Chains A and B, each alone.
Chain A
Amino acid sequence: MTMLERYAIFVQTLLQKGLPMTLKLIGASLLFALLIGVVFGILRSFKLPVIDKILGLYAMICRGIPTIIFLLFFYAYFTTGTQFWIAVLAISLVEGAYMMEIVKGGLLSIDRGQWEAARSMSLPLTVTIVNIILPQVLLVTIPALMGQIVMLVKGTAVAATIGCMDVVRRAQLLLPKYSYPLEIYAYVLVIFFVMCHFLTWLGKKLEKTVVERIMGEVNV
């Protein structure tokens, strides 16, 4: 391959055509997954009998089956709807389940005594939640959520299976034209690695900021 061809592959096809789709997949899936995670996570923390059982079932199913299976299932089931939204549905449901458990765990890890002390001082509920409970929940859930976000980013790669024109799919389509699969996939690898590593780095920075702002200095 010539350098020009390499440029065409890497920059023009993969980056300029494929990456926007990948980013859209990530963006949409992340939004819905977080929504599901936060809302249902809070709901699960109340431990209401019926709702908790249903959500527990949801968690069990979505964490026990590979995302790609859901993807293929929905693709076969939905006769209308674009591949993009089917992929987003599958990924959000699965990642959302994990995030729900993370949020729930974070909320339940808050010692009951924090609530009792606030109640006994007649602190308004909003003040209690915003100033006392929420910061402590964030402290616990942000590291775990950042990890889950990286998993989500990696998970979007399955969308190529049903034809979404993301980085992975575009790379696959280039293979017949240029017989250097190793090199082409290497570019895909680099793209994902950069994204994930950036997120991990961001996560560590965020964690540090959160800890410092919420707990003063933590003497390790």
Chain B
Amino acid sequence: MRNISKKFGDLVVLDDVSLDVHEHDVIVLCGPSGGGKSTLLRTINGLEKINGGEIYFRGTKVDHKNLSSVRKHIGMVFQQFNLFNNLSVRDNLLIAPIKTQHKSKEEMLKKAMEELEIFGIAEKIDAYPHQLSGGQKQRVAIVRSLMMEPDLMLFDEPTSALDPEMIREVLDSMRRLSEMGMTMIIVTHEMGFAKEVASRVCFLENAKIRVNTDTKSFFENSQDERLNQFLSVILHH
């Protein structure tokens, strides 16, 4: 599977940015705030519109006609979790497969329990979002995306709204996902995580990708001055 994307200027938020994603890649987008990372991520599943360029998913161009069906193959995890507040964990997980893919409830419930088990929150199935901690909410959000069996998962600063103790459990869940072979694109500031789990890392600044390389070269052999500046600040906080 290849998710080739080319995005041009969104005002001046993204300026002729291109990114190729291959199956099983774990790509981390990093960089200073306002550099365009989240915007880039959100253009992939159509939450942001692009003004120029094209996005391809599995070889087919994505346009407003097929966006709806493409979205069914892409999962997204948000910084603010965005769990449906009026639904229990169970209903949060089941609503999409049942209402869009018309799967059977028993089948999906079984799958839900299995996935919750893997991420250590099976006992919370009947809880409501307001009863969960941030880390638990995010793990539910991850499972909610997994219920649709996506080919690609997008993570928009998934740990930025969490207390330090809970960041670990979410990062561990994401690591487990990568070990399961999921293709992931992650916007994050957690460079330690990136170093251990990512296959490629991109540095975005001022609407452009300055560096896009495999993890080893990114952290060790970087030629780019701005990147080195950035890394020295962020790795020593």
Binding site for B on A (CB under 8 A): 111, 113-114, 116-124, 127, 131-132, 135-136, 139, 214-216, 218-219
Contact residues, B65-118 vs A (CB, 8 A): 68-69, 71-72, 74-76, 78, 80-88, 95-96, 99-100
Beyond A122-B69, A124-B99, A132-B87, list 11 extra A-B contacts (CB 8 Å). Answer: A113-B78, A114-B82, A114-B84, A120-B74, A121-B75, A121-B144, A122-B96, A127-B99, A132-B84, A135-B86, A215-B128
Find B71's partner among A111, A114, A119, A214 (CB 8 Å cutoff): A119
Could you give 16 example pairs across A and B, Cβ below 8 Å?
A111-B82, A117-B76, A119-B71, A120-B47, A120-B76, A121-B144, A121-B145, A122-B96, A124-B100, A127-B95, A135-B86, A136-B86, A215-B85, A216-B88, A216-B126, A216-B127
In the complex, A121 Cα to B67 Cα: how many Å? Answer: 11
Give the interface SS of chain A, mostly helix, strand, loop or mixed.
helix
Binding site for A on B (CB under 8 A): 45-47, 68-69, 71-72, 74-76, 78, 80-88, 95-96, 99-100, 126-128, 130-131, 144-145, 148
A144–chain B nearest beta-carbon distance, Å: 18
In the complex, A132 Cα to B47 Cα: how many Å? Answer: 19
In the complex, A114 Cα to B82 Cα: how many Å? Answer: 6
Q: Which residue of A lies closest to B131 (CB)?
A: A219
Answer whether A122 and B68 are a contact pair too, CB < 8 Å, given A116-B47, A215-B128: yes
Find A121's partner among B46, B69, B127, B148 (CB 8 Å cutoff): B148
Is the CB–CB distance between A123 and B131 below 8 Å? no
Residues of A close to B85: CB separation below 8 A: 114, 136, 215
Residues of B close to A127: CB separation below 8 A: 95, 99
Residues of A close to B100: CB separation below 8 A: 121-124
In the complex, A132 Cα to B92 Cα: how many Å? Answer: 10
Find A123's partner among B69, B80, B81, B95 (CB 8 Å cutoff): B95
Q: Which residue of A lies closest to B98 (CB)?
A: A127
In the complex, A122 Cα to B67 Cα: how many Å? Answer: 9
B226–chain A nearest beta-carbon distance, Å: 31
Name, among A122, A135, A136, A215, the residue most crowded by chain B CB atoms within 10 Å (CB to CB): A122
